Amino acid sequence: MITYAADSHVLYGELYFWPAQVYGSDDSLTIFEWDTGLKLGKIKQSDKTYQVIGNMNEHQLSIGETTYGGRPELVDTTAIMDYGSLMYLTLQRAKTAREAIQIMDELVSEYGYYSLGESFSIADANEAWIMEMIGKGVGNKGAVWVARKIPDGYISGHANQARITTFPKDDPENCLYAGDVISFAIAKGYFTGKEDNFSFADAYAPIDFGGARFCESRVWSGFRRVNKDMMQYEDYAMGENLKNRMPLWVKPDKKLTVKDVMELMRDYFQDSKMDMTRDFGAGPYNCIIRWRPLVWELDSVSYFNERAISTQQTGFSFVAQSRNWLPDPIGGIFWFGVDDTYSTVYSPMYCGINKVPDVYAVGNGSMMVFSDSSAFWVFNQVSNFAYTRYNMMIPHIRERQAQIEQKFFDETKFIDQQANEFFGKQKKEALKLLTDYSVSAGNYTVNEWKQLYQYLFTRYMDGNVKTPVEGQQNPELEQPGYSEYWYRKLVEETDDKFIYHGEDSH
């Protein structure tokens, strides 16, 4: 399994779909930067491409990413291949994780690497890898990179900070790298010393306070939820001890389910020193959201907000599940959700389906065009209303979220079995079953979320809490106001301004 949240304040959450195609020898493809839509140039089209649903292809290969930036002088503004195009083109061209790494290297070598430093999660039904890449700057086409295979039984993570430090140079089964990854760093003055001591992250993206507190802290927070020994790295995650670096991967105390991985994506540092419900920024209703900017200034002093895994600006997120004991179209399930991970519902999209639900489809609304049939807008209606009175509304959201996802967990067991029985003799029927089910699941999710919004809005609008009373026209009305903590803060700020002197006072 790999998981990924595409966090951008201007990224519209939709489910990409590319059908398998066969092309002619003269066919080309225009590359547009994924983040901005800027035209970067043309490349040669592959002879044939594989079907891709979101970030997973028909062979159960999946790819995710985070941008770590690194050294800005290594951006090649003349290159054609940006990180988004690199991911989605590779998914259309590769069958396995190892082949994906090879193709990514070939693409940037031939067309140049346009983006900042990037970490990639790459997994198929048998292996999972972390790959870190950065360009060489204008005039040096290509990229330097390292890829490491995650050992069986372990988990890894990356969150906008390069994480691969030293690596084995003679173990191609478990580690692959660009031939000049060390020599280029030496030539640029990023590294001196023995090659055995070379650290990719330290050379190309040195850690600093922001890298620890905003980025590595999220990896630590995920690790600590599955491994009891991770508290020893708390000072590193807090940005207090940058030498106490976490390992690249850790062994969970127990095997993780798909649900466990979904819950890791719903982390807001709960029950830690960085718990976002436990400081004044949470407001009167213990909200886990902090509005940007991330760093702000007051009286010439810089301050910051925490940056958790779960955040408001998520366009889409997923958990990609690959299972080698099933045929590819059945074995791969792309669990897809839009908006804030804490408030989303992950719906199962089998990788063998031949269409996606209209509620997730590209073209159904956009970032500045509202569509009441779009999952992105429906989920944002619920989450953004909930932010106003979070501790009252989030229990309803979490309860319905858990019910729907459990329904899908139960149903996919049956769909797996039924489709597998069909697959040997009636492959077409098996694919139709997978498609019909996935489309139905997506539509069901959005319809249920529309109903949830109606329920929340009628119950909680105008600061009230209304409960229907059977046989009566008017509901029972509560006006809970603010918490005692918040009232005390108000009195501290306003002194006696709001002291009430009784009904007869004028």
Q: What is the pLDDT of residues 224-236, one digit of tens each?
A: 999 999 999 999 9
How confident is the model at residue 425, as a pLDDT? 87
pLDDT value at position 449? Answer: 98
- Take residue 15 and report the two structure tokens written for it: 């489910």
Please name every residue paired with 336 in a beta bridge, in sequence order, or none if there are none: 318, 347
- Two structure tokens written together for 192: 């001196």
Q: What percent of the chain stands above pLDDT 90?
A: 98
CA distances from 421 to 330, 354, 415, 416, 436 (A): 11, 19, 10, 9, 17
Amino acid, res. 444: Y
Spatial CA neighbour of 140 closest among 108, 164, 117, 102: 108
Q: Which residues pair with 317 in a beta bridge?
A: 5, 337
Q: For residue 305, name the pLDDT band (cuts at 50, 70, 90).
A: very high
What is the predicted pLDDT for the residue at 503?
Answer: 72
Mean pLDDT of 69-92: 98
Query: Distance between CA 290 and CA 281 in Å, rounded?
Result: 7
> Could you write out the DSSP letters of every residue in 253-314?
SSPPPHHHHHHHTT-S-TTSTT-TTSSGGGGGGT----PSPSEEEETTEEEE----SS-TTE
* Alpha carbon distance 217, 307 (integer Å): 8
The pLDDT of residue 504: 63
pLDDT above 80: residue 366: yes
Residue 474 has pLDDT above 60, yes or no: yes
3-state secondary structure of 382: helix
**pLDDT value, residue 505:** 53
- Four-residue CA torsion sign, 150, 154, 157, 161: negative
Do residues 345 and 398 make contact, with C-beta atoms less than 8 angstroms apart?
Answer: no
pLDDT digits (tens, 9 = 90+) for 97-153: 999 999 999 999 999 999 999 999 999 999 999 999 999 999 999 999 999 999 999
188-215, pLDDT tens digit by residue? 999 999 999 999 999 999 999 999 999 9
Helix axes 83-93, 97-111, angle to 10 degrees: 130
Cis, bond preceding 293 (omega within 30 deg of 0): yes
Tokens of 409: 């967990």
pLDDT bracket for residue 379 (50, 70, 90): very high
Confidence of residue 55 (pLDDT cuts 50, 70, 90): very high
Rounded to a whole number of angstroms, the CA Rg of the chain reads 25
pLDDT at 424: 84
| Per-residue pLDDT tens digits for 255-279 | 999 999 999 999 999 999 999 999 9
385-434 pLDDT tens trace: 999 999 999 999 999 999 999 999 999 999 999 999 999 889 999 999 99
Alpha carbons 177 and 186: distance in angstroms, whole number: 16
Integer Cα distance of 483 and 493 in angstroms: 16
Question: Hey, which residues does 148 pair with through a beta bridge?
Answer: 130, 175
How far apart, in whole angstroms, are the C-alpha atoms of residue 420 and residue 328? 10
With tokens 């090659």, the residue in question is 195
Q: Is 25 exposed, middle or buried (0-12, 13-18, 19+ CB in 10 A)?
A: exposed
Distance CA 136, CA 116 (A): 10
SS (H, E, C) 197-214: HCCHHHHHCCCCHHHHHH
Burial of 443 (0-12, 13-18, 19+ CB in 10 A): middle
Residues 444-457 have a mean pLDDT of 98
276 backbone dihedrals φ, ψ, rounded to 5°: -80, -5
Looking at the DSSP assignment, which residues form a beta bridge with residue 349?
334
- In degrees, rounded to 5, the angle at the alpha carbon of residue 53 between the alpha carbons of residues 9 and 83 is 50
The gap between the terminal CA atoms of the chain, to the nearest Å, is 67
Q: What rounded mean pLDDT belongs to the chain?
A: 97
The gap from C-alpha 56 to its chain's centroid, in whole angstroms, comes to 14
> Residue 506: pLDDT band by 50, 70, 90 thresholds?
low
**C-alpha distances out from residue 265 to 127, 171, 353, 414, 447, Å:** 21, 32, 25, 26, 23
Statement: residue 491 has pLDDT above 90: yes
Chain CA centroid to CA 450, Å: 23
269: left (phi over 0), alpha (psi -120 to 50) or beta: left
What is the pLDDT, as a whole number, of residue 235?
Answer: 98
3-state secondary structure of 388: helix
Whether the Cβ atoms of residue 56 and residue 130 lie closer than 8 Å to each other: no
CA distance 12 to 313: 10
What local confidence, expressed as pLDDT, does residue 390 receive?
97
Judge whether 303 and 295 are in contact, CB under 8 Å. Answer: yes
* Beta-strand pair 128-135/175-177: unpaired
At 56, the pLDDT band (50, 70, 90 cuts) reads very high
